[in-house]
Amino acid sequence: MKTICIFNQKGGVGKTTTNINLCSGLAMMGYKVLAIDIDPQGNTTSGLGFDKTSLKYSIYDILTSSDVKISDAIIQSQLVDNLYLIPANMDLAGAEVEMIESKDREKILKEKLKEYDTEFDFIFIDCPPSLGILTLNALTACDSVIIPIQCEFYALEGVGQLINTINLVRKSLNKDLEVEGVIMTMYDSRTNLCNEVFKEVKNYFKDKVYNTKIPRNIRLAEAPSFGLPILLYDDKCRGAEAYDKLTKEFIKRQEVK
Ligand code: ADP
Ligand code: MG
């Protein structure tokens, strides 16, 4: 079992899209997957077809009530076999303040996961676009991070800060935290800019960068509004092909490790 966090403190770089489609893709391949949504926007939750307004328990309860267990908050996908979710909604926005008084507040998720007798092949955590206590809980609970980087002019500006954060977490909260991989998203190979950004990212992260690049594809942006992963929304589109290829590349790397 491996716990992976989809992390980049920048918003809109494709974290949630990657989380939804990697989790679904792996589940469709037969792996048992738990997606944890730790973003108050709850986009993984709605993108996987769940109603954010009618949740019994969510990640909020996991983080703020000592008597709510992981098993209480897991819901099963009706669309994809083998896929499970711990959902999130706007309740979570208040969690950071409520957690200020908690002891070891960065470690709550890690401790709860440890208590839970897991039966998953992979757990993926979709981070919010910030470096607050929610993200720290995710980074403390995981074995490794996948970093989506959007192909744009300012792409590398945030990377220094991102690496600083990972190093800080390694020092104090999670010394074995690894970079699992780096994904180029919204990629357009026809533009010089994309090619330049890719070269720089490759220079920095070397073989951590996945060979599969995710193109900008309108179908990927449409699918969440139907609550569907891309493979169920339009399995022939370029976005679906790319995420399918990425899922296979991800698994291949796991086998090498
Ligand atoms: P994050 O979770 O990092 O904030 P999202 O995955 O929510 O990023 O993506 C931001 C927006 O861009 C969303 O509206 C999403 O549907 C869209 N999007 C993500 N990836 C792609 C892509 N490859 N092509 C087109 N639109 C995309
Ligand atoms: Mg998101």
pLDDT at residue number 206: 96
Interstrand relation of 122-126 and 33-37 (parallel, antiparallel or unpaired):
parallel
pLDDT at residue number 74: 97
Q: Ligand 2 centroid to 175 CA: how many Å?
A: 26
Tell me the CA distances in angstroms from 149 to 33, 173, 228, one per residue in order. 23, 24, 23
Could you list the mean pLDDT of each consecutive 10-residue stretch along the chain, which spans 257 residues?
96 97 98 98 98 96 95 96 97 91 92 89 96 96 97 84 94 97 94 91 95 97 98 98 98 89
Q: Could you say which of 3.40.140.10, 3.40.50.300, 3.50.50.60, 3.30.2130.30 is the CATH number of the domain covering 2-256?
A: 3.40.50.300
pLDDT at residue number 154: 81
Domain ranges of the chain: 2-256
Indicate if ligand 1 lies below 6 Å from the C-beta of 22: no
Q: Ligand 1 centroid to 41 CA: how many Å?
A: 13
pTM exceeds 0.95 = yes
Nearest to 246 by CA among 185, 159, 155: 185
pLDDT at residue number 211: 97
pLDDT at residue number 102: 86
Using CA atoms, how far apart are residues 81 and 83, in angstroms rounded to an integer? 5
Q: Ligand 1 centroid to 165 CA: how many Å?
A: 23
Would you tell me how many other CB atoms lie within 10 Å of the CB of residue 114? 12
pLDDT at residue number 103: 86
